[in-house]
Structure 1
Amino acid sequence: MTDNTRDLVILGGGLVGMTLALAAAKKGMSSHVIDRADPAELTAEGFDDRATAISTASWHLFENIGIAEGLDQFACDIAAIAVTDQNKPGRLDFVPGEGGGTLGRMFPNRRLRLALFEAAAKEPLINWVAKANVTERQRSEYGVAAVLADGQKLKGRLMIAAEGRQSPTRDQAGISIAKWDYKHRAIIAGLTHEKPHGNVAWEIFYPAGPFALLPLNDDADGTHRSSLVWTVSEADGAGVMKLGDRAFLAEVEKRMGGVLGKVKTVGHRSSWPLGFHHTAKITSERLALIGDSAHGIHPIAGQGLNLGLRDVGALVEVLADGARLGLDPGDPELLKRYETWRGLDSFMVALATDGLTRLFGVRGKTASAVRRLGMAAVQRTPMLKSFFMDEARGVSGDLPEILRA
């Protein structure tokens, strides 16, 4: 190249943005990836103790971009999902049949970042600019550019907003957004416990919100580990975070109902506000939104990152198809196809998670009894259970080729 113009200018080098850059490179597309954060801080021990459920389809994406082999040793399979309403009778179990594989894999966020960052550093089609602040975003019918605080001007043909929920690129483009605050916080911590988890993910619903126990690999000495995602009201969040370890563990054990035995230790606790947002559209002139820049959902079903990775797969397929026809990555018809493909699917997933949040948040014995009757009906209906398991795996609907085995 005679100048620094690349196919894509990706603003945001997190899990979704960097996956896009790697997936695009596999199709021969070059990119600038610009991120404010310091990758050394993001991958430091203890910086982010969260763990993420990776669906079957997302795992295929990781296989197809070449990072799955290095990640495999850190995966903890989700062999089953158990759903209960306050540990009362009427439990719903999702267990794949023989040969059905897993319902996903759990990974520490740090390991996902390390795998993506190491692959990106080796990829010549990716120009990764970290610790950079974008001072100006330029888009016209002829191309796009990001001007950095140090004076660099990185040019491309299509701008991608992958900056997360507070995306300045989305806001600058004037894309309207529907959003609301659940007035809940997710308390996240790693736990060690007495009983093995058996690769079962637990989703225990309480009126204040879901209480999830997600399986992690045992420590080298055989200590059993899980990741806790405990939703509490905004009013209670600060108090829960201030509890001493002994009091915190007592509250956790009370809600667990003995499913993992005695809780031994708790790791670093973090607290995250929960809200919903969804944009009216996900494209503009030479601009596409992916991941949380376009949609933010409740973690109730563990689909947030996976939804963003489906955006990645669809966008890369659309752009690769266009390249074969000699079309520019910013061609309006290509962006229209991406909008059509992802707009409805992401909206339906967002509505479903919002509906579940509200359904299980209705208080009272009658509401609990109705929910448990509904779960019992699903438990007895193999077709419905298969549908929900396919949704959890991310293998339903019009799936991009890069998310297939």
Structure 2
Amino acid sequence: MTHPTEETRDLVILGGGLVGMTLALAAAKKGMSSHVIDRADPAELTAEGFDDRATAISTASWHLFENIGIAEGLEEFACDISAIAVTDQNKPGRLDFVPGPDDGTLGRMFPNRRLRLALFEAAAKEPLIHWTAKATVTERQRSQYGVAAVLADGTKLKGRLMIAAEGRQSPTRDSAGITIAKWDYEHRAIIAGLTHEKPHDNVAWEIFYPAGPFALLPMNDDADGTHRSSLVWTVSEKDGAAVMKLGDRAFLAEVEKRMGGVLGRVLSVGQRSSYPLGFHHTAKITAERLALIGDAAHGIHPIAGQGLNLGLRDVGALVEVLADGARLGLDPGDPEVLKRYETWRGLDSFMVALATDGLTRLFGAPGKTASAVRRLGMAAVQRTPMLKNFFMDEARGVSGDLPELLKA
């Protein structure tokens, strides 16, 4: 029997984060084998307290987790988002998104650590996944015959299709010479866990300020009943360092001021992290025996919380075209297979990116007039069920040409 490192597998996935590992598991469910290569140490990524970040998983993404068998173990960590309240600086004229009785939730909040653990545990049990962690790729080879990744220790992992899943700084994308359009919003997102006095009642708050959105996302209560939410606060780049340096009490006071009392007093704030916000989109998401997924292909403003969900739609679409190709006897790296992925995902992800960029600019326009126009627009949406349903379907990720794996 050949050792996994000598075996030519269907996929060589560079990047074993949330998107890369979901792809490996989804491909395995369709009988496709993969090498997954990641720089990080999984023990560090899943350590208690490493990452206070949480992610909103759309309804469609949850179906994907159900279809690859990790939903059951995650269920207990989920906090449903049953409504979204949108306001312009807590002024009158708020917009509420509340799904109908048969529509289910608008998504579920999960600690990133729990998502990673579920994926890593499932991958460790899957014989079709050969996972190499703490590895550096020194050379990427692609030709008409196949692909290979050469590691720093000289190991060569071979396959038929290379997948770039390393995130927004993807070296695989850059070495393939794929051009990228990008601009910087000159803003930073500051992320922290909060405990607060009043229950959140499963409502996600999106409070818009001229510097950017201030979002409060519901998390499960602690075992002792302490109420928790995850904060994503957008500040201008020039204020970012100062806000990060504030002492806990001063930071709490600033947060409380912006919350307008919606969750009562803020009791404590967890570890803060921050990252710069930008938009990037590649001109194409495929090349010879190469496909880009997730942030390697597109990075959007977190205003709508769709970044990871967009990457998981890539996963569903790519697995579907690969499985359809395999049924016709096509190789995973076949240009026809990749072309279908390109046309399917290229436009959809660009439309989402465009919409979130437009929202960012609309809500970022300063001044009283802009605020009045926004509130007028929000009032119009509030009164128009069709528009509301459109936005809710977008949030749930169920609009557009959905891959099978993202359906119930």
Aligned 8 A contact 2:109 2:217 in 1? yes
> After the TM superposition, which segments of 4 or more aligned residues of structure 1 sit over 6 Å from their partners?
none
Please give the alpha-carbon distance, in whole angstroms, between the structure 1 residues aligned to 2:304 and 2:26: 25
Deviations 1:302-330 (A, max 9, x none): 00000000000000000000001110000
Please give the alpha-carbon distance, in whole angstroms, between the structure 1 residues aligned to 2:157 and 2:6: 9
Please give the alpha-carbon distance, in whole angstroms, between the structure 2 residues aligned to 1:356 and 1:343: 20
Deviations 1:337-395 (A, max 9, x none): 00000000000000111111011110110010000000000000001100100000000
Q: Which of 201, 206, 217 is the aligned partner of 2:204? A: 201
Deviations 1:46-102 (A, max 9, x none): 111100000000000000000000000000000000000000111000000112100
Deviations 1:17-71 (A, max 9, x none): 0000000000000000000000000000111110000000000000000000000
Please give the alpha-carbon distance, in whole angstroms, between the structure 1 residues aligned to 2:284 and 2:45: 30
Aligned 8 A contact 2:17 2:116 in 1? yes
Aligned 8 A contact 2:70 2:119 in 1? yes
Classify the secondary structure of the residue corresponding to 2:398: coil
Aligned 8 A contact 2:191 2:232 in 1? yes
Instruction: State the TM-score, normalizing by the size of structure 1.
Output: 0.99
Classify the secondary structure of the residue corresponding to 1:135: strand
Deviations 1:120-173 (A, max 9, x none): 000000000000000000000000000000110000000000000000000000
Please give the alpha-carbon distance, in whole angstroms, between the structure 1 residues aligned to 2:100 and 2:28: 37
Aligned 8 A contact 2:142 2:148 in 1? yes
Aligned to 1:390: 393
Aligned pairs for 1:145-294 (under 5 A) are 145-294=148-297
Classify the secondary structure of the residue corresponding to 1:163: coil
Classify the secondary structure of the residue corresponding to 1:247: helix
Aligned to 1:92: 95
Cα distance, 1:176 vs. partner?
0.3
Please give the alpha-carbon distance, in whole angstroms, between the structure 2 residues aligned to 1:70 and 1:240: 37
Aligned 8 A contact 2:16 2:37 in 1? yes
Deviations 1:223-264 (A, max 9, x none): 000000000011101110111111111100100000000000
Aligned 8 A contact 2:162 2:291 in 1? yes
Aligned 8 A contact 2:12 2:160 in 1? yes
Classify the secondary structure of the residue corresponding to 2:357: helix
Please give the alpha-carbon distance, in whole angstroms, between the structure 2 residues aligned to 1:46 and 1:195: 24
Classify the secondary structure of the residue corresponding to 2:6: coil
Instruction: State the TM-score, normalizing by the size of structure 2.
Output: 0.99
Please give the alpha-carbon distance, in whole angstroms, between the structure 2 residues aligned to 1:186 and 1:116: 26
Q: Does 1:8 align with 2:19?
A: no
Cα distance, 1:3 vs. partner?
4.2
Please give the alpha-carbon distance, in whole angstroms, between the structure 2 residues aligned to 1:396 and 1:358: 23
Classify the secondary structure of the residue corresponding to 1:190: strand
Please give the alpha-carbon distance, in whole angstroms, between the structure 1 residues aligned to 2:364 and 2:100: 31
Q: Does 1:19 align with 2:22?
A: yes
Deviations 1:163-200 (A, max 9, x none): 00000000000000000111101010000000000000
Classify the secondary structure of the residue corresponding to 1:127: strand
Aligned 8 A contact 2:160 2:289 in 1? yes
Aligned 8 A contact 2:6 2:157 in 1? no
Q: Does 1:55 align with 2:80?
A: no
Please give the alpha-carbon distance, in whole angstroms, between the structure 1 residues aligned to 2:247 and 2:333: 53
Aligned to 1:124: 127
Cα distance, 1:15 vs. partner?
0.1
Please give the alpha-carbon distance, in whole angstroms, between the structure 2 residues aligned to 1:333 and 1:3: 28
Please give the alpha-carbon distance, in whole angstroms, between the structure 2 residues aligned to 1:120 and 1:399: 25
Please give the alpha-carbon distance, in whole angstroms, between the structure 2 residues aligned to 1:197 and 1:373: 27
Classify the secondary structure of the residue corresponding to 2:87: strand
Classify the secondary structure of the residue corresponding to 1:211: strand
Which stretch has the larger CA shift, 94-103 or 118-127?
Answer: 94-103
Q: Does 1:327 align with 2:330?
A: yes
Deviations 1:270-326 (A, max 9, x none): 111110100000000000000000000000000000000000000000000000111
Which stretch has the larger CA shift, 90-99 or 60-69?
Answer: 90-99
Please give the alpha-carbon distance, in whole angstroms, between the structure 2 residues aligned to 1:252 and 1:31: 45
- Stretches of structure 2 that go unaligned for 5 or more consecutive residues are none
Aligned to 2:321: 318
Please give the alpha-carbon distance, in whole angstroms, between the structure 2 residues aligned to 1:4 and 1:384: 52
Please give the alpha-carbon distance, in whole angstroms, between the structure 1 residues aligned to 2:190 and 2:393: 28
Classify the secondary structure of the residue corresponding to 1:156: strand
Aligned to 2:48: 45
Classify the secondary structure of the residue corresponding to 1:281: coil
Please give the alpha-carbon distance, in whole angstroms, between the structure 1 residues aligned to 2:215 and 2:236: 15
Cα distance, 1:334 vs. partner?
0.4
Aligned length: 404
How has the CA–CA distance of structure 1 residues 3 and 243 changed in structure 2, closer, same or farther, with 3 Å as cutoff?
closer
- RMSD over aligned CA atoms reads 0.7
Please give the alpha-carbon distance, in whole angstroms, between the structure 2 residues aligned to 1:224 and 1:80: 17
